[in-house]
Structure 1
Amino acid sequence: MQNRPSTDLPPVAKAYNGADRNAFLFGFNPQAELWNGRLAMIGFVAYLAWDLAGYSVVRNVLHIVGY
């Protein structure tokens, strides 16, 4: 009989507070920081796409100011 690697998946990754790291929990906890970072990345990419489409808030503000 050959030794084959196990196909069992590892258990759910736990954060410092013992809860699932991907759980959507309210309050100041490690899960909130993960979700905050994920949503910030989505917002940043959305703004870049919006800017590339020609709707730039930064350019409009600088144009109004006179730069």
Structure 2
Amino acid sequence: MELNGRVVVVTGGTRGVGAGIARSFAQAGADVVVCARRPPEVPSPAGRFVELDVRDGDAV
């Protein structure tokens, strides 16, 4: 999968499956933005983090 020049937003990407998905997109060349309610415990190599609760429509 080649995603150079693409931007990918991964919700819930600070831990577990979401973090793995974010890493996979980054390895494919995408610019990754990880969104979650809490910051990651360790910095993500997958991209930029934005603290966001997607359940809050006004915040999105």
The structure with the largest helix share of the pair is: 1
Higher-Rg structure is: 1
TM-score, normalised by the number of residues in structure 1: 0.25
Higher RCO, 1 or 2 (CA under 8 Å, sep at least 6)?
A: 2
Structure ranking higher in strand proportion: 2
